Amino acid sequence: MVKAIRIHETGGPEVMKWEEVELGSPGSGEARVRHTAVGLNYIDVYFRTGLYPAPLPTGLGMEGAGVIEELGPDTDGFKVGERVAYAGRPTGAYAEERIMPVEGLIILPDSIDDQTAAAMMLQGMTTEYLLQRTYQVKKGDTILFHAAAGGVGLFACQWAKHIGATMIGTVGTDEKGELAKAHGCTHVINYRKEDFQKRVMEITDGKGVLVVYDAIGKDTIMGSLDSLSPRGLMVSFGNASGPVTNFDLGVL
């Protein structure tokens, strides 16, 4: 038996229960991983509150790092005692140990400690697919990124600066604005003090941005669309303020 945080109903933090669970042995293509660090992400809140439905009861958490304690058959390339990390489904990282498919594990180099690996995997991978594959940001591009001081946002600040792109980031406090700037964000807008769409147009001389990355959802969708240049790309990858519903396609 191992301890894990599970939920039997959706709701606030009080629905999380520290329970004993039967883990069993890994099957074909699986490893038993003893966690040394676990990552916390906003998507965990989505599952806990029920915004993202999941069969109950369920575990929480989507990334972690640890040591392989046991291997099932067909797990070539991995050894007991190796340090590994992962990010993504199935949920259940909030646990002392868990069974994971080895195809989702990466072996950690000595240069990356467990806490760093557990903190960066999901957010780093998200940033990569947003800035490289959803829309390939290039040198000279101007982009708008909401929640620039969040986990993914801070990765995006650094990534955009490295590429040579101009990143306009929105934040909710001046302190978060300073944090985003320190990580490479070119322009910061405190949306509690300014109309971010109006400021985007001022910064871009009325042209708008090529792409908007929006994990806020309901509260920002219209301003995000109004911040785009003609034929610009709107990327929605979260719903922190609630899902966008009853959207009128005529707005486009």
Q: Report how far residue 152's alpha carbon sits from residue 215's, in angstroms, rounded to the nearest whole number.
A: 10
Q: Tell which of 48, 81, 112 closes a domain.
A: 112
Is the pLDDT at 245 greater than 90? The verdict is no
Q: Report how far residue 65's alpha carbon sits from residue 237's, in angstroms, rounded to the nearest whole number.
A: 24
Residue of 11 and 252 predicted with greater confidence: 11
- Count of structural domains within the chain: 2
> Which domain covers residue 240, as residue numbers?
124-251
For the chain, the average pLDDT equals 95
Q: Report how far residue 15's alpha carbon sits from residue 8's, in angstroms, rounded to the nearest whole number.
A: 7
Residue 119 included in any domain? no
pLDDT confidence of residue 130: 98
Q: Are residues 166 and 87 in the same domain?
A: no
Q: Are residues 47 and 142 in the same domain?
A: no
CATH number for 138:
3.40.50.720
Q: Tell which of 112, 144, 160 closes a domain.
A: 112
Instruction: Please state, for a pLDDT cut of 70, what percent of the chain lies above it.
Output: 98
| Phi-psi category of residue 191: left, alpha or beta, with phi > 0 → left and psi -120 to 50 → alpha | alpha
Mean pLDDT over residues 5-14, rounded?
Answer: 98
Torsion angle, CA of 32/30/109/151, rounded to 10 degrees? -80
pLDDT in tens, 176-191: 999 999 999 999 999 9
Tokens read off for 238: 């979260």
Q: Are residues 51 and 141 in the same domain?
A: no
